[in-house]
Amino acid sequence: GEGVLSGKQSALYPVLRNLEGAGLLESHVEPSSSGPPRRYYRINERGHEVLAQWRQAWQATRDSVDSVLEGVPQ
């Protein structure tokens, strides 16, 4: 479907593998009765810490952009 994060699902898997390789996610594989085994990902404690840092950085960036845009007529 078309959502906030639209695009090819296959593009997500390299990102998940990179995040897991960086120690921010953990995964496990479970058998599936409807096809091949499925891999499930979960954010770990380190991932939550880094996510909090990314949120702070994004908030600071957004605040800076908002500050600049306040002076721009619509």
Q: Within a domain: residue 74?
A: no
Q: Within a domain: residue 24?
A: yes
The closest of 53, 65, 3 to 24, measured between CA atoms, is 53
* Residue 24: Cβ within 10 Å count: 19
Which residue bears the tokens 């898997």? 13
- Cα Rg of the chain, angstroms: 18
Q: Within a domain: residue 4?
A: no
Structural domain containing residue 18: 9-69
The closest of 48, 45, 39 to 17, measured between CA atoms, is 39
pTM, two decimals, is 0.70
Domain harbouring 45, CATH code: 1.10.10.10
User: What separation in angstroms does the CA of 20 have from each of 27, 48, 59, 68, 71?
Assistant: 8, 13, 25, 36, 42
Q: Say how many domains are in the chain.
A: 1
pLDDT at residue 2 tops 70: no
pLDDT of amino acid 54:
97
pLDDT at residue 1 tops 60: no
